[in-house]
Amino acid sequence: MHPTIRLVNRNLTISLNPGFVVWQVMFPIVYIFVAGFAYTTLIDSVKLGDVSLDYPAFIASGMIGFNIMNSTLVSGIIIWNDRRHGMFEQILVGPFKRSHYILSNVYTIAIVGLISATLITSIGFPLFFKSTHFNLLTIPFLIFASVVGSILFGSIASIISTRLRSSEGFNVIINTVFLFFAFVSTAFYPAQGTPEPLATGFYLNPLTYLVDIIRAGIFGTFNEFVMLEMIVLVSVAATLFVIAIKLLTKLDL
């Protein structure tokens, strides 16, 4: 078996523990079903291009992007955990090159992102079933969003993992990043109608671009703006990926 595949196997074993799976499934389910239906009394419908969505369908589709971010941030932390528990050095004195280790983390993050997206799409599907506008682009859009989003958020977690040494610092940073990404985005609420500074904040957040692309795929609201968002997302993901790889390559032992 190729060394990278062996490391991916190991990464998935340590990542996909029961706690992680429960966190990955329960958290979005609570949002989709509890918040989704509870907020329906406040938010009647959300306008998305020419389509008008009920709030549960809006939040369920947002949760796909949210879960990609959530799971890949957690997977990106593998590097942090490996450094903290001595496994980074142990792996590098084993039958692996540093490139095997880096690639294994990229693949793990992408796999976890895809699994996550599939899981939440399946759970949320009954809610946005009525509004789904299946077309040739739906599945490619979802795969595109899963892979690019995974690489983007996985790279962010990897960068943080390589730069920080103390647990306290790491936790503060990762929680702050999570809070910003999760709640200053269009995952939970639409940008239209929000105060200008908040709407600007939304569009400084890659999760907004990610959920916009996912919704465009699901609800068939693809337009030039979404195209632009895709380009921005790919560019940011590529830049962060290169930075993460460089930092990982130079990571001191």
Partner 1 sequence: MSIKSRSLFKSYGDLVAVNGIDLDIGSGKIFGFLGPNGAGKSTTIKLLTTLVPPSRGSIEILGIDAIKNPLDVRKRIGVVLQQPSYEPNLSVEKSLEKYGMMWDVDKKTRKQRTDELIDVFDLGEIRKKKNEDLSIGQRRRVQVAREFMHEMDLLFMDEPTVGLDPSARRNLLDYLKDKAKAGLTIFYTTHVLTEAEYLCDEIAVINKGKILAVDTPDQLKSTFGQEKTIKIHLANKYDDLIGLLLGISGCRIEFDTGTNIIIQSSKAEIVLSQVLSILIENNILIEDLSAMPTTLEEIFLRMVKDTNAPNN
Closest separation between CB of residue 88 and partner 1, Å? 9
Nearer to partner 1, 1 or 42 (CB): 1
Closest separation between CB of residue 25 and partner 1, Å? 18
Treating both helix axes as pointing N-terminal to C-terminal, what angle do 98-128 and 55-76 enclose, rounded to 10 degrees?
A: 170
φ/ψ of 184, rounded to 5, equals: -100, 60
In terms of Cβ atoms closer than 10 Å to its own Cβ (0-12, 13-18, 19+), residue 23 is: middle
Q: What's the DSSP call for residue 40?
A: G
Closest separation between CB of residue 85 and partner 1, Å? 6
Closest separation between CB of residue 84 and partner 1, Å? 9
Q: How many residues does the chain have?
A: 253
Other Cβ atoms less than 10 A from the Cβ of 18: the count is 7
Nearer to partner 1, 85 or 163 (CB): 85
Closest separation between CB of residue 13 and partner 1, Å? 6
Q: How far is 57 from 39, CA to CA, in rounded Å?
A: 12
Other Cβ atoms less than 10 A from the Cβ of 51: the count is 16
Q: How far is 248 from 162, CA to CA, in rounded Å?
A: 7
Q: What residues make contact with partner 1 under the rule CB under 8 A?
A: 1, 6-7, 9-10, 13-14, 17, 19, 81, 85-87, 89-97, 253
Nearer to partner 1, 148 or 251 (CB): 251
Instruction: Supply 214's token pair.
Output: 């996912």
Residue whose pair of structure tokens reads 């939040």 in the numeric block: 59
> Furthest-apart CA pair in the chain: how many Å?
58
Nearer to partner 1, 94 or 126 (CB): 94
Nearer to partner 1, 86 or 197 (CB): 86
Closest separation between CB of residue 170 and partner 1, Å? 15
Q: What's the DSSP call for residue 224?
A: H
Nearer to partner 1, 1 or 136 (CB): 1
